Amino acid sequence: MNPIKRLYKNRNTIREKNLSENIDIWRFILDNIEDDKVFTKAMNHETLQFKLKNQNLKNKNIEFIIGTEKVLTSIASQIFKMNAIEFGVENIEDIKLDLIKKKISSILNSPSEIQAHFCKNPNKQTCDETLQTLMLNEKINDLGLHASKAKPYMYIFNGSFTKKNKGAKSIDVFIAEKNLLSDAYFLNTKKFSNKLILLGYQKTIMVSGGHQNNQLKDILSFINQADEYIKNNNDKVFFFVQADGDYCVANMGKIIEEIKNKNRIFAGTTIEIIEGIKDVSKKV
pLDDT, tens digit, 9 for 90 and up, residues 156-193: 998 899 988 877 789 999 999 999 999 999 999 999 98
CB neighbours of 84 closer than 8 A, spacing ≥ 6? 90
Query: Where does a domain end: 121, 146, 175?
Result: 121
Identify whether residues 84 and 210 lie together within a single domain: no
Determine which helix (DSSP H) or strand (DSSP E) holds 98, and give its type and residue range: helix 97-108
| H-state helical runs in 141-178 | none
| 178 and 279 assigned to the same domain | yes
- Do 78 and 39 lie in one domain? The reply is yes
Per-residue model confidence as pLDDT tens digits over 150-159: 887 899 998 8
Higher pLDDT among residues 7 and 124, named by residue: 7
Residue 211's pLDDT is 61
| pLDDT higher than 90, residue 256 | yes
105-128 pLDDT, tens digit each: 999 999 999 999 998 887 765 889
pLDDT tens digits for range 14-65: 999 999 999 999 999 999 898 888 999 999 999 999 999 866 666 778 889 8
Average the pLDDT over 225-252 and give the result.
Answer: 94
Position 210 pLDDT exceeds 60: no
Q: Are residues 134 and 273 in the same domain?
A: yes
End residue of a domain, out of 79, 100, 121: 121
Distance linking the first and last C-alpha atoms of the chain: 31
* Last residue of one domain, picked from the residues 88, 121, 154: 121
pLDDT of residue 284: 75
Among the listed residues 106, 52, 53, 44, the one whose alpha carbon sits nearest the alpha carbon of residue 75 = 106
For all residues of the chain together, what is the average pLDDT? 91
Q: Determine the average pLDDT of the residues in 205-220.
A: 79
Residue 272's H or E segment, with its range, is: helix 270-283
Domain tally, the chain? 2
Q: Is 175 helix (H, G, I), strand (E, B) or coil?
A: strand
Please give the torsion angle defined by the CA atoms of residues 143, 244, 269 and 267, in that order, rounded to the nearest 10 degrees: -100
Residue 209 pLDDT? 63
Indicate whether 212 pLDDT > 70. no
Is the pLDDT confidence value at 1 over 70? no
Task: Tell me which residue range forms the domain holding 172.
Answer: 126-283
Q: Of 82-91, 140-149, 162-171, which gets the smallest average pLDDT?
A: 162-171
Looking at the structure, do residues 94 and 220 belong to the same domain, yes or no? no
Reference 81, options 38, 48, 39; nearest CA is 48
Residues 179 and 259 in one domain: yes
Indicate if the pLDDT at residue 98 is higher than 70: yes
Same domain membership, residue 53 and residue 190? no
